[in-house]
Amino acid sequence: MVTSNSASLDMLIDRYLNYLLIEKGLSPKTLESYSSDIARYREFLLANGINHISEIDTSVILKHLIALRDAGLKARSRARHLVALRGFYKFLVHEKLLAHDPARLVDLPKTVLKLPDVLSVEEVERLLAAPNTQKTTGARDAAMLEILYAAGLRVSELVNLKLQDVNLEAGFVRVLGKGSKERIVPIGLVAKEKIDFYIENSRPRLLKNRLSPHLFVAHAGKPMTRQGFWKLLKRYAGQARLPQKITPHSLRHSFASHLLEGGADLRAVQIMLGHVDIATTQIYTHVAQEHLKRMHAKFHPRG
């Protein structure tokens, strides 16, 4: 048992969060999520007069999850809380502050599998064809949409690309993903052509004799922002008459699903997406299976 008052409890939490930041290299957004979940657990402990962390905290963790459920948190959110607590207790065992991990005995709340929104190949083609490449910004937008789909990037990865990150001759892009983890992703011929056209023709006009390390720039040479890209995506989705709500992540989902539908190896897709755990990638196999079921129902004589 680690006997503690609120101050020493805070110290343990700070040590864990520093470990996640320095040793694990988690992104600021992920770290903020872990910090929020652990802070809520701390509040629960103190509100219930619990001033220590113990090897027999299994019942305490269960009561906390029940309290979260009663407060209206969905199963997916409660599962995220438990993942954070598992990591916290595992860290305390690793640091020899606890002899046993009480959180490992608690099962994750059952969640309903929510399949990602995926565009059809025809819908993606309509979206990618929407920008007018004769315009300076249109050529840039076409290149951004194309590389987003070609490499399955997150929008933050897209807007943070540097000019030096793209190797058009070799046909790949170097991406700095979550937790500052680098990956190399191939891009197709069409993406290479659109990026090359943008770099040679549109980018110099947008820069207006200014210098910028960023691949994609807005007016006056400022780097493209996530919000700026979101706005242009919504505009092009409307022009393409896409029937559903489109987000930048929709193209990433579509990238993964279309690869698997085409027969790509799940492990290869995991590497290209930058997923640490292959379980995160496996949700796309459900999408691919749904596609196969529809094809079977449509074309099989007994479908």
Ordered alpha helix ranges (H), the chain = 6-22, 28-47, 58-70, 75-94, 121-128, 136-151, 155-159, 189-197, 203-207, 226-239, 248-261, 266-273, 278-281, 283-299
21 pLDDT exceeds 70?
yes
CB 13 within 8 A of CB 167: no
The residues, ordered by sequence, that sit 6+ positions from 171 with a Cβ below 8 Å of its Cβ are: 186, 187, 188, 189, 192
Q: How far apart are CA 34 and CA 30, in angstroms?
A: 6
Rounded to the nearest integer, the mean pLDDT of the chain is: 84
pLDDT of 301 reads 55
| Of 156, 154, 157, 158, nearest in space to 143 by CA | 158
Tokens matching residue 291: 């596609």
Residue type, 28: P
Q: Mean of the pLDDT values across residues 223-247?
A: 89
Tokens matching residue 37: 């979940």
Helical axes 136-151 vs 189-197, angle rounded to 10°: 150
pLDDT of 300 reads 46
Q: Which of 5-9, 42-46, 68-72, 129-133 has the lowest mean pLDDT?
A: 5-9
Protein fold of 121-299: hpI Integrase; Chain A (1.10.443)
Q: Do domains 2-105 and 121-299 have the same CATH topology?
A: no
pLDDT of 110 reads 63
pLDDT of 76 reads 81
Q: Mean of the pLDDT values across residues 183-192?
A: 90
Q: Which of 56-60, 101-105, 232-236, 291-295 has the lowest mean pLDDT?
A: 291-295
Reported confidence tier of residue 119, pLDDT bands at 50, 70, 90: confident
Q: Which residues are catalytic?
A: 154, 178, 249, 252, 275, 284
pLDDT of 149 reads 92
Burial of 155 (0-12, 13-18, 19+ CB in 10 A): buried
Considering all CA atoms of the chain, what is the largest pairwise distance in Å, rounded to the nearest integer? Answer: 70
Reported confidence tier of residue 138, pLDDT bands at 50, 70, 90: very high
pLDDT of 115 reads 57
Q: How far apart are CA 57 and CA 285, in angstroms?
A: 37
**Which residues make beta-bridge pairs with 52?**
3
Whole-model pTM over 0.75: no
Phi, psi of 107 (to 5 degrees): -80, 150
| Of 56, 55, 45, 63, nearest in space to 5 by CA | 45
pLDDT: which is higher, 265 or 138 = 138
114 pLDDT exceeds 80?
no
Residue type, 259: L
163 pLDDT exceeds 90?
yes
**Tens digits of residue pLDDT in 35-52:** 999 999 999 998 988 877
Protein fold of 2-105: DNA polymerase; domain 1 (1.10.150)
Tokens matching residue 148: 């987003």
Tokens matching residue 218: 């807005």
145 pLDDT exceeds 90?
yes
pLDDT of 4 reads 42
Domain boundaries along the sequence of the chain: 2-105, 121-299
Place of tokens 């279309």: 258
**Tens digits of residue pLDDT in 66-98:** 899 889 888 888 888 888 999 999 999 988 888
Q: Mean of the pLDDT values across residues 229-253?
A: 88
Q: Mean of the pLDDT values across residues 17-28?
A: 84
Q: Mean of the pLDDT values across residues 286-300?
A: 54
